[in-house]
Amino acid sequence: MERRNFIKKGALAAGVTTLATGSSMAMPAKKKKKKKGKAEFKLKYAPHFGMFKNSAGEDLIDQINFMADCGFTAMEDNGMMRRDVTTQTKIGEALAGRNMTMGVFVIDKGGNMANTLAAGNPEYVDIFLDGCRRAVDVAKRVNAKWMTVVPGGFHRKLPIGIQHANVIEALRRGAEILEPHGLAMVLEPLSDSPDLYLRTSDQTYMICKAVDSPACKILYDIYHMQKNEGHLIRNIDLTWDEIGYFQIGDNPGRKEPTTGEINYKNIFKHIYSRSTDFVLGMEHGNFSEGKKGEEKLIEAYIESDDFEV
């Protein structure tokens, strides 16, 4: 009896040991947490003010420093021309101090639905040219090269060929102002309304060829072009020699990469294979709110930039 008890107790102890060992082996290995720090992006992705305000605060210079600390090497600001001279100067100095490239800002009243260049109205052209002249001084303060221009809407009572000629003539005159300073307007085809004159990359390519100036190039906004025409990589290649700038936004939703249907990792890889000089403006919203949303946005760019070269 004592021997039987001894054997039974020994078997029980062995079973417990086996279960414990098996349980230990079955436990999944803990994933290592990614260390937060400065990313080393292959391309010049350019955030905008407000994108990281929960992490960096409301101060614009603090936001620039936060962008740089995260690894971003460029920044864009559509509303730069509406900022006062002192603020523009501080922004320019901050970007220079962090070795960041200034991306696009929008030429104030540089063609819109209220003063469409397709109409050929001299008053509208004068408004556009005044915006170009004022943009030169702003560009110098912030060390910018590219300025966004949207020619406005269709003029439905004019034949399309006449509208093309009106736009081309106005842009030639704008280029004459910008070119001596080494600046370039970048024309942005949009998907926001069917009433907009500029809608596709091939149409914009034709206009740039007709203007025939290094001061007039294409702003290829990947979000808008996905909506209007698709075939993104093919159309980027077809219009490549006239592209001056890229902008980013996933579709649907116009949020950061990985939140929609566009394969940004492939697109970034393709652009990188041809040139690393472009600024890619992050002209989109944040998919999620707060600091967590800003962290997810940065992670999305790290993931999309993680392509083989």
279 has which bridge partners?
Answer: 44
Q: Any idea which architecture 40-304 has in CATH?
A: Alpha-Beta Barrel (3.20)
Per-residue pLDDT band at 36 (split at 50, 70, 90)? low
Q: What percent of the chain has pLDDT over 90?
A: 85
Per-residue pLDDT band at 27 (split at 50, 70, 90)? very low
Q: What region does 182 belong to: left with phi over 0, alpha with psi -120 to 50, or beta?
A: left
How do residues 171-209 score in pLDDT, each as one tens digit? 999 999 999 999 999 999 999 999 999 999 999 999 999
Q: Cβ(266)–Cβ(303) under 8 Å?
A: no
Cα–Cα dist 184/205, whole Å? 15
Whether pLDDT at 28 is above 70: no
How do residues 274-291 score in pLDDT, each as one tens digit? 999 999 999 999 999 999
DSSP 8-state secondary structure symbol assigned to residue 32: P
Whether pLDDT at 6 is above 70: no
CA-nearest of 157, 138, 14, 11 to 80 is: 138
Whether pLDDT at 212 is above 60: yes
